[in-house]
């Protein structure tokens, strides 16, 4: 009897284990079926349906990182970047496989502009595979977007050393060097990129624009002509040609080139904006009212086609001011300041208009934004100091005039204004020090002698 009971319980246990095993195998099979179905839906470009299918798979196996990775891609395809990042973060907590998760997570962090976090995950991948040149390139890109230019250059240099012929690294490094003011180094990198990939339009365009921005139209001309020969039906090369002619003073050829671009594409906002800028320059130089009207017509078309084009709004605002239409000029300049990238000149012109309206607080804000975007500019610093005086803030006025004095050490006027502002602020000791500084260079300056007397209390 005892033997029979033992045999019975052993059999029952075996059956139970078999049933559990069967159930686990069935769940695994169902899980992989759902994942496979999700993959097929992704291949058919049905990411919404795929994400729901992956969710069903995760309901069966909530601790499996693969389905989270796949659902993240489905979410990304739908534009649900926050949800995609969340899925990948869960996957990273479940898996120690860096290559499975970190590279995807880094790419998503880049898309949502979380550049420091993207860099950390690219670095994790590089610890596993230090020779991954594509990852080094991406690391350089996120460093650059995150304002870490020196680290970006280092990452791109390493990528170029690992992979021969990696022209994109030279192009991106050139763009970074150009942003830092390294014109010669940028030119060298752009030329290297073109040598490695003669059809690299991005690098060729960057080099052309470098020459144009640097005021070297003849150096750009050969490149532009080869660009036209390679792409005769595209409008962009003709716009470059127009800029080259305009820089060289060939106004007729510049306008003709813009018209050639418009022939290729009549709905090209950049062409009308460039045409308007050319006519505006002509109007400013000659005072020709017809040129002003032509500028306004072209720029109105550009602004209508692309309302977000800050450069077109800036030029249109300047055109309205040239037509003595201050109200419309102000509105266009205000619209230009809301564009991306922000045209710094729009803030300067707005500052001048605010001052003319005695709105000194608004003028100060506009001038400060201009200076932050463009760097210290003597004329704007002087206007900023004057605006502080009008706003009854002599301390900030004095600080601004002293910055101007550093930029223009041969001028006495900034020191005179700074000393006067310091006296108004009640800091006569500092005013006297500034007066003595100016008198050391110009001992007979009457304004400084008078202010020094006031500062001494005599």
CA distances from 243 to 216, 221, 246, 252, 274 (A): 11, 10, 5, 12, 8
DSSP state of 19: H
Cis previous bond, 400, omega within 30? no
**Closest by Cα among 262, 276, 366, 259 to 316:** 276
Local structure of 112: helix, strand or coil: coil
Confidence (pLDDT) at 10: 52
Start-to-end CA span in the chain (Å):
127
12-95 shares its CATH topology with 393-458: yes
CATH number of 12-95: 1.25.40.10
Cβ-count burial 389-428 (b if 16+ within 10 Å, e if not): beeebbebbbebbbbbbeeeeeebebbbbbbbbbbbbebb
Q: How far apart are CA 244 and CA 421, in angstroms?
A: 47
Report the number of secondary-structure helices (H) and strands (E) in the chain.
25, 0
pLDDT tens sequence for the chain (458 residues): 555 544 444 544 444 444 444 344 455 556 556 666 676 776 778 778 766 776 776 666 666 666 666 676 776 777 767 776 676 666 666 566 666 677 777 887 888 788 898 898 899 889 989 999 999 999 999 999 899 999 999 999 999 999 999 999 999 999 999 989 899 999 999 999 999 998 888 999 999 999 999 999 999 999 999 888 888 889 999 999 999 999 999 989 999 999 999 999 999 999 999 999 999 999 999 999 999 999 999 999 999 999 999 999 999 999 999 999 999 999 999 999 998 888 999 999 999 999 999 999 999 999 999 999 999 999 999 999 999 999 999 999 999 999 999 999 999 999 999 999 999 999 999 999 999 999 998 999 999 999 999 999 85
Q: What is the per-residue pLDDT across 68-88, written as a single tens digit (0 to 9) for each?
A: 666 767 767 777 677 766 766
- pLDDT of 27 reads 52
The sign one gets for the Cα dihedral 364, 366, 369, 375 is negative
Residue in this structure with the two tokens 């995609």, named with its chain if needed: 84
User: Would you list the domain boundaries of the chain?
Assistant: 12-95, 393-458
Per-residue pLDDT of 159-214, as tens digits, reads 999 999 999 999 999 999 998 989 999 999 999 999 999 888 899 999 999 999 99
CA atoms of 444 and 371, how far apart (whole Å): 34
Does domain 393-458 fall under CATH 3.90.226.10? My reply is no
Residue with tokens 């045999």: 7
pLDDT for 167: 95
How far is 246 from 111, CA to CA, in rounded Å? 38
Task: Find the Cα–Cα–Cα–Cα dihedral 410, 416, 422, 427, rounded to 10°.
Answer: 90
Question: Is residue 438 within 8 Å of residue 448, measured between CB atoms?
Answer: yes
Cβ pair 274, 265 in contact under 8 A: no
CA dist 118 and 108 (Å) reads 8
> Which two tokens mark 65?
């990182």
């Amino acid at each position: 009897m005892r033997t029979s009971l033992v045999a019975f319980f052993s059999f029952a246990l075996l059956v139970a284990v078999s049933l559990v095993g069967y159930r686990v195998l069935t769940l695994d099979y169902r899980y992989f079926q759902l994942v496979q179905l999700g993959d097929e839906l992704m291949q058919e470009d049905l990411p919404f349906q795929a994400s729901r299918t992956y969710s069903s798979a995760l309901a069966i196996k909530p601790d499996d990182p693969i389905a989270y990775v796949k659902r993240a891609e489905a979410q990304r395809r739908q534009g649900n970047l926050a949800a995609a990042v969340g899925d990948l973060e869960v996957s990273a907590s479940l898996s120690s496989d860096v290559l499975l998760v970190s590279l995807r997570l880094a790419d998503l962090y880049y898309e949502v502009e979380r550049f420091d976090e993207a860099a950390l995950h690219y670095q994790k991948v590089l610890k596993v595979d230090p020779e991954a040149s594509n990852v080094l390139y991406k690391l350089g890109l996120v460093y650059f977007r995150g304002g870490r230019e020196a680290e970006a250059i280092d990452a791109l240099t390493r990528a170029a050393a690992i992979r021969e012929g990696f022209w994109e690294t030279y192009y991106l490094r050139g763009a970074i060097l150009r942003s830092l003011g390294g014109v010669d180094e940028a030119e060298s990198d752009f030329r290297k990129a073109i040598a490695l990939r003669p059809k690299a339009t991005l690098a060729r365009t960057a080099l052309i624009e470098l020459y144009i921005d640097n005021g070297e139209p003849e150096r750009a001309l050969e490149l532009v002509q080869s660009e036209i020969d390679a792409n005769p039906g595209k409008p962009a090369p003709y716009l470059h040609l127009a800029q080259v002619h305009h820089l060289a003073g060939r106004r007729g050829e510049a306008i003709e080139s813009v018209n050639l671009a418009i022939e290729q594409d009549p709905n090209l906002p950049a062409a009308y904006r460039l045409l308007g800028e050319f006519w505006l320059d002509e109007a400013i130089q000659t005072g020709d009212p017809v040129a002003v009207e032509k500028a306004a017509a072209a720029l109105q078309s550009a602004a209508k086609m692309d309302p977000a084009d800050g450069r077109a709004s800036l030029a249109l605002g300047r055109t309205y001011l040239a037509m003595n239409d201050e109200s419309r000029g102000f509105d266009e300049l205000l619209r230009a300041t809301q564009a991306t990238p922000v045209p710094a000149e729009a803030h300067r012109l707005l500052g001048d208009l605010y001052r003319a309206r005695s709105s000194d607080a608004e003028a100060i804000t506009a001038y400060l934004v201009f200076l932050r975007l463009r760097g210290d500019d003597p004329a704007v610093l002087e206007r900023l100091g004057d605006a502080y005086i009008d706003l009854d803030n002599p301390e900030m006025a004095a600080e601004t005039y002293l910055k101007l004095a550093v930029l223009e050490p041969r001028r006495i006027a900034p020191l005179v204004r700074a000393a006067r502002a310091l006296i108004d602020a009640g800091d006569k000791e500092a005013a006297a020090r500034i007066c003595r500084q100016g008198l050391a260079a110009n001992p007979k300056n009457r304004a400084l002698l008078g202010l020094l007397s006031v500062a001494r209390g005599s």
